[in-house]
Amino acid sequence: MNIGVVGVNHNLAPISIREGVSFTDLQKIEAINYLLDKEIEEVIILSTCNRSEIYIQSKNVDEKVKVVEDFYATFFDKPDVKEYLFVKTHREAIDHIYKVTAGLDSIVLGEDQILGQVKDAHEFSMQLGASKKKFNKLFREAITTAKEIKSTTKISQQPLSISYIGVKFLEEKLGSLEGKNALVVGVGKMSKLTMKHLEEEKINTIYVSNRSHGKVKEIENDFKNVVPIEYADRYKILNDVDMVISATASPHIVVRYDEMPKVERKIYMMDIALPRDIDPKINELENIEVYDIDNLKEIHDKNDQKRKELANIGYDMINKSIDEFVEWMDSTHIDPTIESLNDKCLEIREDTLDYIFRKLDLDTREKKIIDKMMTSALKRLIREPIINLKQTKDKGKREEYIKLVEELFEL
């Protein structure tokens, strides 16, 4: 099938290697032109934070992938990159393109972002004339299939991040988070993600407390509903909130049992830190329920398993689409024969019309009528052979027919 892919991704290469072979747009242009000059017919480069991959379509693709391997080492001046390069050719390469596009080769199974990145990579190459008939067909089919997988399975809607699952867990407990108030302890990555998810649920106010109060001030402008709270005052706000979410990097408890005030309203506390931030004994207090990562792990594992089950449906859809693409690719082998037949007909038409117009005194209208009749007759002559060639599924027979047509018509 003359299709190959060479590159590095999160499956085999550490970030120190991936970042060293990441392409800028200018580098993509330079690389594509270089590879086209090496008699590679089509090139697409996909460069993201998790992968740097070059897709090629060419005759002798098994030889051309070696050209791409050498290119990686010399272009980025990183000879050791070859230790981390993967190479796939023919159907295996096509399968890789489909799985990447559908998010089934991503760190987070079924993630959405890669679909747009593949579309952008394809469009970039099309603008340079480096993606032509075969890659245009392949990548459009991969993109269409990815959309169908996401629409059919809803795989991207199965949450996996602990912060997201924690927020959804609290939403289930409270019925809705809209108009509610929360206290978030910590301003690290997990806490910021939690605040983002809380805002998406239209929460009213997010009180934020951190040992270093300056860090709270730094993120205040990143979120609409954040109200900074001094770390020493974190207990004073408890009777004004519906939930507490703690995600610090502290090695010890930051919400202590013996410092808890009497709580007059129902509060749910979500501890997503490890080691834990919230004293488990607080669960014994009236009006308070404390949950931790172990409570969320079961939900996470179920969602992860669900994604894997949905991915299997996606694989079946991909295999069906690949079968159709491979059949289409096989049918393109007759394109040169069809083109030669059309050229033959054009030659006959021009010679015949030239002879008729020399022998007969015809006006412009009569010449046009004869031209149309001649063209129509020649098209009818080759129409059936072309249809039969396209409909022949057996590769051996198709090759025999192509050879026979070329001999009979002296193509």
Just list the catalytic residues.
49
Distances in Å between the Cα of 118 and the Cα atoms of 113, 138, 200 are 9, 12, 27
3 φ/ψ angles, rounded to the nearest 5 degrees? -125, 140
Which residue's structure tokens are 């004004």? 240
Binding residue per annotation — 295?
no
Task: Tell me: is residue 33 an annotated ligand-binding position.
Answer: no
Q: What are the start-end ranges of the E strands in 165-309?
A: 181-185, 205-209, 226-229, 243-246, 267-271, 288-292
Is 27 marked as binding a ligand?
A: no
Specify whether the backbone of 129 is left (phi greater than 0), alpha (psi in -120 to 50) or beta: left
User: According to the annotation, is 70 in a ligand binding site?
Assistant: no
- Consult the annotation and say whether 345 binds a ligand: no
Tracing tokens 């690290």 back to the chain, one arrives at: 188
Q: Is residue 113 a known part of a binding site?
A: yes
Q: Which of 58, 63, 45, 193 is nearest to 117 (CA)?
A: 45
Cα 226 from Cα 205, distance rounded (Å): 6
> Tokens representing 197?
């998810």
In this structure, the number of other CB atoms found within 10 A of the CB of residue 331 comes to 15
Is 186 flagged in the annotation as binding? yes
Under a CB-based contact definition with an 8 Å cutoff, are residues 411 and 337 in contact?
yes
CA 36, distance to chain mean position in Å, is 25
**Is 189 assigned a ligand-binding role in the annotation?**
yes
Instruction: State yes or no: 191 annotated in a binding site.
Output: yes
Q: Is 112 annotated as a binding residue?
A: yes
CA 262/CA 268 separation, integer angstroms: 14
Please check if 161 is assigned to a binding site: no
Residue 259 marked as a ligand binder = no
49 in a known ligand binding site: yes
Joined together, the tokens standing for residue 275 give: 């080691």
Point out the annotated binding site: 48-51, 106, 111-113, 117, 186-191
Point out the annotated binding site for substrate: 48-51, 106, 111-113, 117
Point out the annotated binding site for NADP(+): 186-191
